[in-house]
Structure 1
Amino acid sequence: MEYNVVLVGVALLLGIGLVLVLSGLQVIGENESGLVIKKYGAPLPPGRLVALEGEAGYQAELLPPGWHFGYPFWRFKVTHVPVVMVRQGHIALVVANGGAPIPAGNILGREVDCDAFQDARAFLDEGGQKGRQLAFLTAGTYRINPALFTVITPENAEAFDMSTEDLEVFNMGPDKVGIVTTLDGRPIPSGDLAGSPVEGHDSFQSAQRFLDEGGCRGLQEQVLLSGSWNLNPWFVRVEQSPMTEVPIGYVGVVVSYVGREHLDVSGDEFTHGDLVERGRKGVWIEPLLPGKHPLNTRVMKVELVPTTNIVLNWAQRTEQHKYDEKLSPITVRSRDGFSFTLDVSQIIHISMKQAPRVISRVGSMQNLVDHVLQPTVANYFRNSAQQVSVLEFLSARTDRQREAYEAIRGALGAYDVECIDTLIGDIQPPAELMKTQTDRKIAEELQRTYEVQREAQVRRRELERATSVANMQGEVVRSEQMVAISEKGALAVEETAKGEAARTRLQAEAEAHGMRQRAEAEAAAKRLHGGAEAEATRLIGEAKAEAYRTGVTALGAQAFTAVQLATVLAQHGVKLVPEIALGQE
């Protein structure tokens, strides 16, 4: 009994299996699709790769996941193909193996509404073109018929001579700008450098819209800004370039080689160049302010113009801006035929509003220096120097500088440049001329030095005399004391003489009295003799006294005393002057 049940079960399963096989059951998994190949039927039309009307061969529709009946093995072959998975941050490119031919002049198949290549029938019915496609796949999962489409993903990129980086979402870095070159579209019109901007293509992410709006093949005016962009590398190439930076203290004057038709807005009074509105071809009348600007530097040029004071040196030094690195000291010739060089510093200023006018006139700041300032300043000083001699130029330096400022200010004003100041630096006059001037000056200084030295010698002698007088002050005091002593000595001598006369007289009288007493016989003789001696002595004393009084009256008491003192010192052998004298030259 149990054996019969088993047989019945097996037979039932075999019957069910046979029914399923005969009914053509196909089971498709979740992450796969069924590619149907019809083994026999009507032939495909010429050039057709997949069947749309039930012809034999690859069928356009794929079998989705699930159970599918009606595909018996003797009529159909169903191949299980994996779904296409595109990871985040990547894209996938598509090559159509069938479809209409790509028109001449295009290199990529146009985009059609086919559910991201998942509807092969719609692709063919809508006129999808054979070959590489403008449209591409972004991140996601797709069921695509591999008989009609070849999908290039990062996993199989190398097999198609591509790299994984080619299939990455394009990331534009901060402070960068993307310069775009498209590889498909109409030719750029003759005379234009880049394709004009078109609307609606979402920064080149919608290639078909770009072409529908008349986008041109080649370099584009429009740029990509910072961000992430899904771009078809078969359609567009992007070069990352730094944003145009205008430093503080500068403005940027834009010279555009592309844009709308040139239309001058500078006015009738400005006759040395043209200015245009922003977005037109030419020099933009509105400069760029300090900051970073997303400009396409392949089709635009930005001339930086300093709005601070600019110092230019005609000398052997260069400012940081380097505008004056080709300038050198100015060589001039004076009226008297001498050549000499001088350093000049010119300070200028260009206002923000005048910057576009200056660039429109001369093209760049370096051209302004080389073609305007250099000849203007140099020629002025050459002409000015010929009107005066070298020495006049040197002596009237301030006047020359003021005149130069006035003349150069007027000349630069015609170029919309403000002259702040003109400064004359080092002047190198002829050496032979300056030698004579130097020798003359040295001689004058030497003469003045000699006069000063002579005056110093006179003062030194006066000082030495005063010093000697001061040093002899003690000797003078001693001399005065000796004079006083001499005066006292003279008085003593006078008194001594008087006393001696009196003593002699008394002695004579005593002797005479004695002699009279001893011998009256001899009285007469002795009296005469003693009287004569006494009288002589008296007369001598009176004569000396009278001589002293006469000397005092004639010479004065002080002078007479000095004479008598010298006489007394001489009589006693006293030396007033030393025999050895020490002196200093």
Structure 2
Amino acid sequence: MALILLFTVLAIIALGTSFLVTLPSAGRAALLVLAVSLFGFGLVVGSSVVVDENEVGIVHRQFFGKPLPTGQIIARDGEMGPQAEILGPGWHFGYYPFTYQVRIDRVITVPSGQVGFVTARDGQPLPENEMFAPAWDSAQDMLNPVTFLAKGGRRGPQTTILTPGTYRYNTALHEVTAIPALQVAAGTVVVIKSNSGLRSTPADAKPDLVNGVPLVLRDHIGVWAEPLTPGGYYLNTYAYVPTVVKTTQRTYTYQAAPTTKPQAAARAKNTAAAASTGSDDWSVSVRSKDGFSFPVDVRVACAVEAKNAPYLVALLGNPDSVVQDEQEDEQLEVLEARVILPAVRAIFRNVAETMNALEFVNRRSEIEAIATKRITTELARYRVTCDGVYVGNIHLDASAAGQQLLATQTDREVAVNQQKLYEQQKQAEVSRAQLVRAQEEAEQQRQLAAAEYKVRVEGENAKSQVVRAKGEAESQIIIGEGRAKAYKLLVETLGQQQVAQLEILKLVVEGKVQITPQVMVSGPNGGGALDALAGTILRQTVTAPAAPATTTK
């Protein structure tokens, strides 16, 4: 505006000079041309706008235009007010200060890891019962103010978002806010509750109904039946509200142990009194059939599968959000406060009321199996997988009555065990006596068998000696008879005298007979050969060693 005024003043001066000063016609004409040129140059320069590459020009028409229709913010056809078209980088002319006002704004840069959430100040009203404008096929068409207004763009929050990058847009029409992109961590899934999209459901689709609310397909309004798996998503988290659900194993522990040192000190002073007067502090307290109340330590391990997360969200909302549990007077997860803990309490109390207190203590493993089966069935109604239920300590001794009951049980068990010990010792003594008797009988049997065997052996030896003696006798008889026959034949052949001499010569040759006789035998015939043979045999008989005597029993 100052430039226009400056050049206008210069043009007026030049024009006045051409009339006041006496000049030739050519000089006056030159001054007139200069005045017109100065005025024109001033208008051109004064109406120019320079936009940098990182800037955008927003034009606002102040005069010489029709007023904007009611409810309209951006001028579409040259009306007064903010104009739809924007000025890009470069020089722009014709925007006279007395007609237009141009505001220079910075372009917006959406950084990595974020998205641009867009809100439109003008356009068609949102459809009835819709919270967000329908999505655009192209973010550039949405940011183009002329296209946006010409193609029925809706005012209000937009479903379409801007991914990381730099954008030039009409700041009078659109407002852009950078928000974090959706990051789904490992061990979790995200269930989307869509506030924008289609409302109709395909005829062939059969969505799951959760309390009458269907789980819908993607791009439909409602809870999406398919969760988003771990990863990064450029998503409008205002239009598509994410609910993070953990898919890792969840462990819920309910035990009587104090959690802080002051609690531990207070409980250590009077355990029984603390338990009896403050039974509400126990997470799981049961009452047996015989009227004993006592706490039980329980640990439940469960998990939510990714495919079941949408069902759980539709049923409970955010299962991992924290709420105040009135009975526990502490903050618990929604899943624990509304599903896990009530199920554990009810099932353990139902089991306990069918048993005596000591029976409940003694059948811990069986109770654990029963509770696991029932809790698994109960959690399956919520599509939560139960990995196990574990029973820890059963604090029957938490009350004075319970301590007395346990003492009675202990005394009974001690007496029973002592009786069993006595019976075992008695049985051991009886077994020991039977063993000694059996050993003695075995030894006697062994000796008897040895004696019988010895008698049989000696009898057999006697028999063998008799047989041997008979054999030797018969052998001697046979040998004698043979020799007699032989001698008889020799005597018949050679004569008695010659046979005797022949036998003597054999004995002499064998060295068994001395030539000088030691025994003299004489007969009536004057000491013949037979007498000599008889003397020799007699000597051998006399000098032969006596055979050892054999005793036969």
The TM-score normalised by the length of structure 1 is 0.55
SS at match of 2:140: coil
8 Å contact kept, 1:198–1:210: no
Corresponding residue for 1:239? 177
SS at match of 1:237: strand
Between the aligned partners of 1:228 and 1:318, the Cα distance in structure 2 is 57
- Answering whether residue 28 of structure 2 is matched by residue 18 of structure 1, we say yes
Q: How far apart are residue 26 of structure 1 and its match?
A: 4.3
Between the aligned partners of 1:316 and 1:100, the Cα distance in structure 2 is 79
Between the aligned partners of 1:136 and 1:368, the Cα distance in structure 2 is 53
Q: 1:428-482: CA deviations, max 9, x gaps?
A: 224213432565588799999x9xxxxxxxxxxxxxxxxxxxxxxxxxxxxxxxx
Q: Give the number of equivalent residue pairs.
A: 360
Cα separation, partners in 2 of 1:271 and 1:192, compared to 1, 3 Å: closer
Cα separation, partners in 2 of 1:146 and 1:269, compared to 1, 3 Å: closer
Cα separation, partners in 2 of 1:386 and 1:439, compared to 1, 3 Å: closer
Corresponding residue for 1:432? 400
Q: How far apart are residue 316 of structure 1 and its match?
A: 6.8
Gaps of 5+ in 1: 1-12, 36-61, 63-79, 111-126, 155-166, 320-325, 451-585
Q: 1:476-522: CA deviations, max 9, x gaps?
A: xxxxxxxxxxxxxxxxxxxxxxxxxxxxxxxxxxxxxxxxxxxxxxx
Instruction: Give runs of aligned pairs for residues 158-557 of structure 1, distance below 5 A.
Output: 167-199=105-137, 202=140, 204-263=142-201, 267=206, 272=211, 273-315=213-255, 329-366=283-320, 367-429=334-396, 430-436=398-404, 439=407
SS at match of 2:28: helix
Between the aligned partners of 1:373 and 1:302, the Cα distance in structure 2 is 24
Between the aligned partners of 2:94 and 2:257, the Cα distance in structure 1 is 72
SS at match of 2:157: strand
Which of the pair is proportionally richer in helix?
2
RMSD: 3.5
- Answering whether residue 67 of structure 2 is matched by residue 101 of structure 1, we say yes
Q: How far apart are residue 401 of structure 1 and its match?
A: 0.6
Instruction: Give runs of aligned pairs for residues 58-137 of structure 1, distance below 5 A.
Output: 62=44, 81=46, 83-97=48-62, 98-110=64-76, 127-137=77-87
Cα separation, partners in 2 of 1:317 and 1:447, compared to 1, 3 Å: closer
Corresponding residue for 2:93? 143
Corresponding residue for 2:490? none
Amino acid at match of 1:85: V
SS at match of 2:300: strand
Between the aligned partners of 2:255 and 2:181, the Cα distance in structure 1 is 36
Q: How far apart are residue 414 of structure 1 and its match?
A: 2.5
Between the aligned partners of 1:358 and 1:257, the Cα distance in structure 2 is 19
Between the aligned partners of 2:287 and 2:140, the Cα distance in structure 1 is 68
Bigger Cα displacement from structure 2, 17-26 vs 285-294: 17-26
8 Å contact kept, 2:194–2:221: yes
Cα separation, partners in 2 of 1:247 and 1:268, compared to 1, 3 Å: closer
Report % sequence identity: 27
Q: 1:83-130: CA deviations, max 9, x gaps?
A: 3111231112111132222222211111xxxxxxxxxxxxxxxx4211
Q: 1:220-274: CA deviations, max 9, x gaps?
A: 2222221111122211222221112211011111111221114278737756441
Q: 1:301-356: CA deviations, max 9, x gaps?
A: 2122222211122347999xxxxxx9961121111111111222211122222222
Amino acid at match of 1:228: T
Cα separation, partners in 2 of 1:397 and 1:445, compared to 1, 3 Å: closer
Which structure has more relative contact order (CA 8 Å, sep 6+)? It is 2
Amino acid at match of 1:398: S
Cα separation, partners in 2 of 1:331 and 1:282, compared to 1, 3 Å: same
Between the aligned partners of 1:236 and 1:138, the Cα distance in structure 2 is 16
8 Å contact kept, 1:253–1:304: yes
8 Å contact kept, 2:107–2:166: yes
Between the aligned partners of 2:258 and 2:126, the Cα distance in structure 1 is 45
8 Å contact kept, 1:333–1:340: yes
8 Å contact kept, 1:262–1:276: no
Between the aligned partners of 1:312 and 1:424, the Cα distance in structure 2 is 12
Q: How far apart are residue 383 of structure 1 and its match?
A: 0.7
Cα separation, partners in 2 of 1:189 and 1:331, compared to 1, 3 Å: same
SS at match of 1:274: strand
Bigger Cα displacement from structure 2, 417-426 vs 350-359: 350-359
Q: How far apart are residue 402 of structure 1 and its match?
A: 0.7
8 Å contact kept, 2:210–2:314: no
8 Å contact kept, 2:141–2:148: no
8 Å contact kept, 1:199–1:210: no
Q: 1:5-32: CA deviations, max 9, x gaps?
A: xxxxxxxx96653332345664469xx9
Between the aligned partners of 1:310 and 1:348, the Cα distance in structure 2 is 5
SS at match of 1:239: strand
8 Å contact kept, 1:198–1:213: no
8 Å contact kept, 1:33–1:143: no
Amino acid at match of 1:87: D
Q: How far apart are residue 210 of structure 1 and its match?
A: 1.3
Q: How far apart are residue 208 of structure 1 and its match?
A: 2.1
SS at match of 1:353: helix
Gaps of 5+ in 2: 1-22, 260-279, 321-333, 419-553
Corresponding residue for 2:7? none
8 Å contact kept, 1:342–1:428: yes
Q: How far apart are residue 408 of structure 1 and its match?
A: 1.2
The TM-score normalised by the length of structure 2 is 0.58
SS at match of 1:361: helix
Between the aligned partners of 1:318 and 1:137, the Cα distance in structure 2 is 70
8 Å contact kept, 2:208–2:214: no
Cα separation, partners in 2 of 1:447 and 1:396, compared to 1, 3 Å: closer
Between the aligned partners of 2:215 and 2:258, the Cα distance in structure 1 is 32
Amino acid at match of 2:87: L
Between the aligned partners of 1:216 and 1:179, the Cα distance in structure 2 is 15
